A and B are shown apart, each in its own frame.
Chain A
Amino acid sequence: MLDDFMIRATLAGIGVAFAAAPLGSFVVWRRMAYFGDATAHAAILGVALSLAFQMSIFAGTMAVSLVMALTVTMLTGRGYAMDTLLGVLAHSALAFGLVAVSFLSGVRIDLMAYLFGDILSVSRGDLAVIWGGAALVVVLIGWRWSSLLTATLSDDLAYASGINPKREQLILTLSLAITVAVAIKVVGVLLIAAMLIIPAAAARPMSRSPEMMAVMAAVIGAVAAITGLRAAYVFDTPAGPSIVCVAALIFLGSSLLSGRRGVS
């Protein structure tokens, strides 16, 4: 069954959707969208370093994403405006990554594959990494779920309940780095943030509890992956962007429906 590239691609897309759903919900609740972008953009630097030092792309992107996410977390509340800081870091990481890749004269790499993903070339090994990473993220967030929610409501409320919000922030940071590393092959660095935010945002109007929103986001993400791949096959369009397009259309539909019902 896994011999068929379309089936491997679909499974990869669903794996990323599952990891992105609970994490993406927190990204939306905590207004970390730009934070996700910065981490994802830094991953291209990770690709360059992995190729230069001949290590696995997964390990390289994860390491650089983690360093980036930790740097941003550390600089938070040190007197810079957050959006300025993230804008500087996200785009300079991307630029440095692109420049670094150009220095790799010995290797021929398809930059487009990392910027926009190359889901159709997912191998069995990639699939194992994607599902392993996704499972790790789901377990991590599931394990800390209540504490993460409390810390999302308010740092002080978390402290009063004996929870250290800084530790919970670290769990999210780590999950983000893992998700970026597994999603780079599927949607590419430029569209990872879309997979985090769009399904969660589309799930919001249909949800009455945080758990329901995370589950609905997973369903929407999986539907977008399946439908987007199918559309890419039929219309001969790029696969990763097609998946994001379908997710965006679901978001549009969900917002319009909830708007008409008068539910916010």
Chain B
Amino acid sequence: MSLITLENLSVRYGGQTVLRDVNLAIAPGEIVTIVGPNGSGKTSLLRAIIGATRPATGRVTHQKGLKIGYVPQKLHIDPTLPMTVERFLRLPGGFPRADCAAALDQAEVPDLSKQQMTSLSGGQFQRVLLARALINRPDVLLLDEATQGLDQPGSAAFYRRIAQVRAQTGCAVLMISHELHVVMSASDRVICLNGHVCCEGTPEIVSSAPEYRALFGTGTGGALALYRHEHDHAHDANCAHEHETEKAAE
């Protein structure tokens, strides 16, 4: 039984259709990466899954009792709001302190619990968001461009961490990547979204060939992989595939 099932999902914002007829199922323990150009509906898809956006048509079904860990794309905390990392992690359920420590350990930022949220660096903030998503031992982790603002070694470390978390806890991962071709190598499936599901496949593990080294640099520890798109259809003029041209150049 799938954890999350989307059936013919369409989402509209003020007359504009951002997603149409999306069918998708997330199985327990799998890592699914969604790529797609800006405005392709990636965030809308996640928001529909967490219930923040009502589908125009179609259905979103959660497995009974599904626990979701959600890492938002960005989070602005007003500087007038005093809040320690520990307090932030324990919202809203009042999780025990021991769970906070465990979640911070899992996110590899064990010493931050007494810090104020507004004093964290960008990278620390991202890890704390991850810790918050992990605290309720979720069945599925939803990550919206979680590596935004991190450099390549930083993203690679973050992806390795996600892969380890999956290995340790067995939770499924659905993540949005802001890159079209470079994805987490541990992804079981990559889905290219552009208003609808354009293509779907597995990532190509990066070999040690020099051209890949040039692309990824060294020291990513095999965390990154390539996704080559296979599109068998063309969009109409107002919805062109950004990477169509790149494919031609390959």
> Measuring CB to CB, which residues of chain A are less than 8 angstroms from any residue of chain B?
28-31, 146-147, 149-150, 152-161, 163, 201, 204, 207-210, 212-213, 264
Contact = CB atoms under 8 A, between A and B. Distances in A.
B68 A153 contact: no
A159 B92 CA distance: 11
Given A154-B72, A157-B75, A161-B92, A204 B47 contact: no
The 8 A-B residue pairs whose C-beta atoms are closest, nearest first, are A160-B70, A146-B92, A159-B52, A150-B92, A160-B50, A29-B81, A207-B82, A159-B50
B70 A208 contact: no
B168 interface: no
Nearest to B133: A160
B: interface residue count bin: 20 to 34
B87 interface: yes
B84 interface: yes
B80 A212 contact: no
B79 interface: yes
A54 B116 CA distance: 52
Contacts of A160: 50, 52, 68-70, 142
Given A146-B94, A208-B84, A157 B70 contact: yes
Interface in B75-120: 75-84, 87-88, 91-94, 116, 118
Main SS class of interface, B: loop
Given A157-B75, A159-B52, A160-B50, A210 B81 contact: yes
Contact of A156 (B69, B72, B79, B82): B72
Given A146-B91, A147-B92, A149-B91, A156 B50 contact: yes
Contacts of A209: 82-84, 87
Interface string B49-82: 0111000000000000000111010011111111
A161 B68 CA distance: 8
A229 B116 CA distance: 37
A75 to B, nearest CB: 15
16 contacts: A30-B78, A146-B92, A146-B94, A149-B91, A150-B92, A152-B81, A153-B75, A156-B50, A157-B70, A158-B92, A159-B51, A160-B69, A209-B83, A209-B87, A210-B82, A212-B82
